[in-house]
Structure 1
Amino acid sequence: MLRVAVLASGRGSNLAALLAASRAPDAGYRIVGVFSDQADAGALALAREADIEAAAVTRRPDEPRAAHDARLFARVAEVQPNLIVCAGYMRIISAEALSQLAIPMINLHPSLLPLHPGLDTHARALAAGDAQHGCSVHVVTADLDAGPLLAQSRIAIEADDTPERLAARVLACEHRLLPATVRAIARGTLDLSGPVPHHGGVPLSAPLQLDPSTLEGLRA
């Protein structure tokens, strides 16, 4: 059973999706801790309701980012995870902290990376005239939203889309993509143990795809 720790800064809708999927008999993972940089994060309340270890590790005034990260990951280590999932965690993690992690960490990002790293992805996709938008799961590295891509879910941008409408449709994709990716890692079909992710024993050359119109899993 894969032990998963979740980092989240906000209301926790992707955490809720992960929790729901973890209750399936064949999920292969369970969430053992939820951690936030915001004391009032809804994600922490969700975790406590589910009787899961939950803790806020907020940054102290004038505390260097690396020192805050060290406190955060020391707290995360207490629940002995095999995987760390960033599900709406809004802080950039220091390269020093990442270099000391002994387990993989993945992040969910609301764009089709490498397009639109960072913030305001929905407005930027519309401004760029993109035909498609979506979300990505990638390995966390020291470079912002630039780690190896694992999986994506795509939707067509419609003529009447606004940033808000697009965000809502992408969020629905996120709620399926993140659990599907964690399940694939838990089952061993997606292997993050080496420097290059593997899928089915073969190096992953392109992100796996999740069809947003079906309930099927990831496919190459």
Structure 2
Amino acid sequence: MPRLRTAILISGRGSNMAALLAAARDPAYPAEIALVLSNRAEAAGLARAAEAGVPTAVIESRAHRGDRAGFEAAMQAVLERHGIGLIALAGFMRVLTPGFVERWAGRLVNIHPSLLPAFPGLETHERALAAGVRLHGCTVHLVSAGVDEGPILVQAAVPVLPADTPDSLAARVLAEEHRIYPAALAWLAAGRVRVEAGRVTVADAPAPQAALVNPLPEPAPLPTPSHRIG
């Protein structure tokens, strides 16, 4: 079966992009990373993608200031030119319009550094510490028109430690992001994801385990995190 041509959208260093690129080097992985697109020409992730042999493109959001429709039309043209069927947002710091989201409904996925619906938006680690939560984590979700909203594919949780700073907490969460995003993208690219009444089911996935903090099994062609929530 041909692999689904996938674009990764970035705005910065591309840490999660690198995790997806690494997973996609396996020929059995169902998504082919066919494009890395950024809204910032200076995004460090572009060089990392080029080094990996992945085509890159830039649509400068600054050149379309006040014209979100024009910006997204330019992105859409590039995506179509590269034959893209699936989009993974990886630190893409632009809010997409409802029209663009609807066009890509079910084929647009994002990772967010919190256990949504808690702490949408920015500065999630600082806010988690300020709120005194005992668990924090990350969420992979299908994108809907709201900011950091949409059906949840998978979540990973980490404990918040008494001595944590935003940086130390962020580092532990990021390690989990790098585990669950490739797994969730694989499920989506392989057509294993179904959404009913806003809830996701994944075909052939085992039942959720009781433990919230538990690493994904390694190796596995389509890894299933045992700390999946919901």
TM-score by length of 2: 0.85
Identity within the alignment, %: 41
d(CA) in 1 for partners of 2:155, 2:52: 28
Task: Tell me, yes or no, if structure 1 residue 173 matches structure 2 residue 180.
Answer: no
- Contact 1:152–1:210 (CA<8 Å) still a contact in 2? no
Counterpart of 2:97 in structure 1 is 94
Residue 148 of structure 1 and its aligned partner are, at CA, apart by: 0.8
- Contact 1:181–1:218 (CA<8 Å) still a contact in 2? no
Residue 109 of structure 1 and its aligned partner are, at CA, apart by: 0.3
Counterpart of 2:214 in structure 1 is 211
- Contact 2:216–2:225 (CA<8 Å) still a contact in 1? no
Counterpart of 2:136 in structure 1 is 133
d(CA) in 1 for partners of 2:195, 2:38: 24
Task: Tell me, yes or no, if structure 1 residue 15 matches structure 2 residue 17.
Answer: yes
Cα RMSD for the two superposed structures:
2.6
- Contact 1:21–1:27 (CA<8 Å) still a contact in 2? yes
d(CA) in 1 for partners of 2:64, 2:111: 28
Counterpart of 2:37 in structure 1 is 35
> In structure 2, do the counterparts of structure 1 residues 144 and 194 end up closer, same or farther at CA, with 3 Å as the change threshold?
same
Secondary structure of 1:153's partner? strand
Secondary structure of 1:16's partner? helix
Counterpart of 1:46 in structure 2 is 48
Task: Tell me, yes or no, if structure 1 residue 157 matches structure 2 residue 164.
Answer: no
TM-score by length of 1: 0.88
Number of paired residues?
Answer: 216
> In structure 2, do the counterparts of structure 1 residues 194 and 52 end up closer, same or farther at CA, with 3 Å as the change threshold?
farther
Letter in 1 for 2:80: A
Counterpart of 2:5 in structure 1 is 3
Q: Which ranges of structure 1 fall in alignment gaps of 5 or more residues?
A: 203-208
Letter in 2 for 1:217: T
> In structure 2, do the counterparts of structure 1 residues 191 and 30 end up closer, same or farther at CA, with 3 Å as the change threshold?
farther
Residue 34 of structure 1 and its aligned partner are, at CA, apart by: 0.5
Q: Which of 67, 73, 98 is the equivalent residue of 2:76? A: 73
Counterpart of 2:59 in structure 1 is 57
Secondary structure of 1:198's partner? strand
Letter in 2 for 1:218: P
d(CA) in 2 for partners of 1:49, 1:150: 30
d(CA) in 2 for partners of 1:48, 1:194: 40
Secondary structure of 2:84's partner? coil
Residue 119 of structure 1 and its aligned partner are, at CA, apart by: 0.2
Letter in 2 for 1:108: I
Counterpart of 1:116 in structure 2 is 119
Secondary structure of 1:4's partner? strand
- Contact 1:6–1:87 (CA<8 Å) still a contact in 2? yes
> In structure 2, do the counterparts of structure 1 residues 171 and 79 end up closer, same or farther at CA, with 3 Å as the change threshold?
same
- Contact 1:210–1:218 (CA<8 Å) still a contact in 2? no
> In structure 2, do the counterparts of structure 1 residues 210 and 50 end up closer, same or farther at CA, with 3 Å as the change threshold?
farther
Residue 115 of structure 1 and its aligned partner are, at CA, apart by: 0.2
Secondary structure of 2:11's partner? coil
Q: Which ranges of structure 2 fall in alignment gaps of 5 or more residues?
A: 206-211
Which stretch shows the higher mean deviation, 73-82 or 88-97? 73-82
> In structure 2, do the counterparts of structure 1 residues 193 and 210 end up closer, same or farther at CA, with 3 Å as the change threshold?
farther
> In structure 2, do the counterparts of structure 1 residues 58 and 160 end up closer, same or farther at CA, with 3 Å as the change threshold?
same
